[in-house]
Each structure stands twice: as structure tokens, then as C-alpha cells.
Amino acid sequence: MTEHPGRFGTRLAAAVATRGPLCVGIDPHRELLLSWGLTDDVEGLRRFTDAVVEALAGTVAVLKPQSAFYERHGSRGLLVLEDAVATARAAGALVLLDAKRGDIGSTMAGYASVFEPGHPLQVDALTVSPYLGPGSLEPAVDAARRHGGGLFVLARTSNPDAAVFQHAQLDDGRTVAQAVVDQVGRWNTPDWLVGDPAPDPASYAELQGRWGGDTGSFGVVVGATLAELDVDLDGLRGPVLAPGLGAQGGTPADLRRLFGRGRAVVPTVSRDVLGTGPDVGALRAAAARWAAELAG
């Protein structure tokens, strides 16, 4: 299957090249709205979201709104999210909808309709959960390929009990987390490069040259606060979304320790930027400080 010529991997590489790799989460939970002096209702939600988008959409590579914080306000909350997504994308930011969708068949296809042109919530990428099996995500993979979207699949998260499932071993000895990474790597590989026998090394090198350092459109989520990197990312050929910087304890040094240099890593900061609001200038300055630290 041929990917959309304007695929997410190409747009992400371009955005990171011009704006740096920073992703800022937009997480308007009740406590944050109140700390800004806003009301915990749709009006407060809109004022919060408008300020964040105004401050960051023109300079940050990726904005990551958390769908749950808009859904809790019902249909009017989703209208705020729709407006924010459209405004952010018009200003040049890529929008990653943090919804962690996971289902099967037509339901997964319904979730993935956010990639369709003209959809009221059209986004660039979506977070998804793989724990109903790799086949459950195929409708989202197909939709992303048709419309130039991207997926970030939960693989090795750093919440305290994540290892209960993610370290479970398959019959072949791999952990569940490694199986997720390997599957996403296959989605990033052209069809002719998949299967047995493998292509000869010269063909693979020629393909890499044509990619020109571009990244695939399918990535994984790996926490920036892990004690060690216990998955092999060498076959991923796609981006890593690394949440956990700032208030959750992760640092740029942790990114280098876990991922080294040269890998397509998109670090995510939320509270350390959002906590400086509601002043638009302060939000912008906080994001710029993080971008400078990540560039160091």
C-alpha cells in the first residue's frame, strides 16, 4: 500500500527541522483551570485553550491536546477542541490528538476518521492502544496511510505498574512491549521490504538513501522517566513520543541517556509550560526555554 504523498512522517521531520522537537501537551484539567483564575466550565476551557494555542501554535512543532479534558464538558467542549485544532494547524503546528483509542473493526475505523479531510476534528496524528492485538489497529493504519496521518502506539510507558503487561513475555521470548515496537516497525516498512526472504543489503541501502533521513509515519510511546530502555528501537524506523519531561521528573539528560542522539524523538512537556499561564508571553517563554534545553 502506498502512503499518502503528504504523509505525517514527512511533515513531522520538516516541523522538527524548523521548530525543534518539542511537543507541548494541552491538558485543561480542573485544577489547572482554577490555578489560571478561570472557571471550570466551557468558558474557562475556551479561554485556556485559546491562550495556549495563541502562545504556542506559531512556534512549537507539535501540540498534543488530551481529548478527555474536552470530552468531560460534552459537545460544547468538543467544539472548543475542534476550533483549537483548526487554528493550531493553520498556524503551522502539527496536532497530535491524545485519545489512546483502541478497538476493533468498524469502531476503530470510526475513531480513525479524524484523519479524513473535512472532518471537524481533522488532526495530524493520534495516540492508540495496541492491547486488543495488532490486527485491531489495522483500520487506523489504513486510514493514516490513505490520508497522510500518523499513529503513536503505546509501547513502554513509565507509569508505575506498566510493566505488569508490558514486560509479559510471549512464546518467542520477546516482551509485549518489544512486540509492539516490532509491529510498528513493520508498518513503517514498504510492502516489498516485508516478508521472507529479506531484500539484499544493497537494496535496503538504496531505499534508505531515497528516504533521505525522513522518518516513518508510525511511532511508539516510550516514557522519558524509565530507569533504563528495555526495548530495542533499532528496527522502528519511526518517531518516539517521549512523555514525562518536567513535572514528572524527566530531563533532557534522560532523553540522551535513554535514546542517544540521532533518533527521531519527540519529547513532551505539559505542566512545566502550562503552569506559567495565563499570560501568553510567559507560556511562549516557557516553551522557548524547553526548546533551547532540548537543542543543547
Task: For residue 5, give the C-alpha cell.
Answer: 504523498
Q: For the chain, which residues make up each domain, given as ranges?
A: 8-295
Indicate the residue type of 146.
Answer: R
Q: 197 preceded by cis ω (within 30°)?
A: yes
Q: Which of 111-120, 128-137, 197-206, 246-255 has the lowest mean pLDDT?
A: 197-206
Q: Indicate the average pLDDT of the chain.
A: 90
Indicate the residue type of 215.
Answer: T
Residue 240: predicted pLDDT: 95
Q: Are 136 and 106 in contact (CB under 8 A)?
A: no
In the predicted model, what is the mean pLDDT of residues 120-126? Answer: 98
Task: For residue 206, give the C-alpha cell.
Answer: 538504496
Query: Which residues are paired to 154 by β-bridges?
Result: 221
In the predicted model, what is the mean pLDDT of residues 215-221? Answer: 93
Residue 190: predicted pLDDT: 67
- 66-80 pLDDT per residue, tens: 999 999 999 999 999
Task: For residue 69, give the C-alpha cell.
Answer: 479534558
Query: Could you give the percent of the chain with pLDDT greater than 70?
Result: 90
With a cut of 70, say whether residue 203 has pLDDT above it. Answer: no
In the predicted model, what is the mean pLDDT of residues 55-66? Answer: 98
Query: Could you give the percent of the chain with pLDDT greater than 90?
Result: 80
Query: Which residues are paired to 245 by β-bridges?
Result: 250, 269
In the predicted model, what is the mean pLDDT of residues 87-113? Answer: 97
Task: For residue 162, give the C-alpha cell.
Answer: 506498566
User: Helices H, strands E: what count in the chain?
Assistant: 13, 8
- 160-181 pLDDT per residue, tens: 899 999 999 999 999 999 999 9
Q: Are 120 and 129 in contact (CB under 8 A)?
A: no
64 included as an active-site residue: no
In the predicted model, what is the mean pLDDT of residues 86-107? Answer: 97
Q: Are 60 and 53 in contact (CB under 8 A)?
A: no
With a cut of 60, say whether residue 183 has pLDDT above it. Answer: yes
CA dihedral of 293, 288, 218, 142, whole degrees rounded to 10? 180
In the predicted model, what is the mean pLDDT of residues 206-233? Answer: 78
With a cut of 70, say whether residue 1 has pLDDT above it. Answer: no
- Among 4, 89, 100, 186, the active-site one is 100
Angle of CA points 79, 85, 87, to nearest 5°: 105
With a cut of 50, say whether residue 194 has pLDDT above it. Answer: no
Of 29, 85, 4, nearest in space to 271 by CA: 29
What are the angstrom distances between the C-alpha of 8 and each of 76, 98, 135, 174? 29, 16, 21, 29
In angstroms, rounded to a whole number, what is the distance separating the alpha carbons of residues 180 and 154? 8
Which CATH number does 8-295 carry?
Answer: 3.20.20.70
With a cut of 90, say whether residue 205 has pLDDT above it. Answer: no
Of 226, 230, 82, 80, nearest in space to 169 by CA: 230
In the predicted model, what is the mean pLDDT of residues 76-88? Answer: 98
Of 267, 239, 241, nearest in space to 253 by CA: 267
DSSP-derived letter for residue 233 is -
Q: 65 preceded by cis ω (within 30°)?
A: no
Query: For the chain, how big is the Rg over CA atoms in Å?
Result: 19
Confidence of residue 283 (pLDDT cuts 50, 70, 90): very high
Residue 215: predicted pLDDT: 79
Cα 220 to chain centroid, rounded: 8
- 3-49 pLDDT per residue, tens: 444 789 989 988 998 999 999 999 999 999 999 999 999 999 999 99
Of 91, 125, 120, nearest in space to 8 by CA: 125
Cβ neighbour number for residue 272 with a 10 Å cutoff: 16
Confidence of residue 248 (pLDDT cuts 50, 70, 90): confident
DSSP string, 118-149: T-TT--SEEEE--TT-GGGGHHHHHHHHHHT-
Residue 261: predicted pLDDT: 81
With a cut of 90, say whether residue 275 has pLDDT above it. Answer: yes
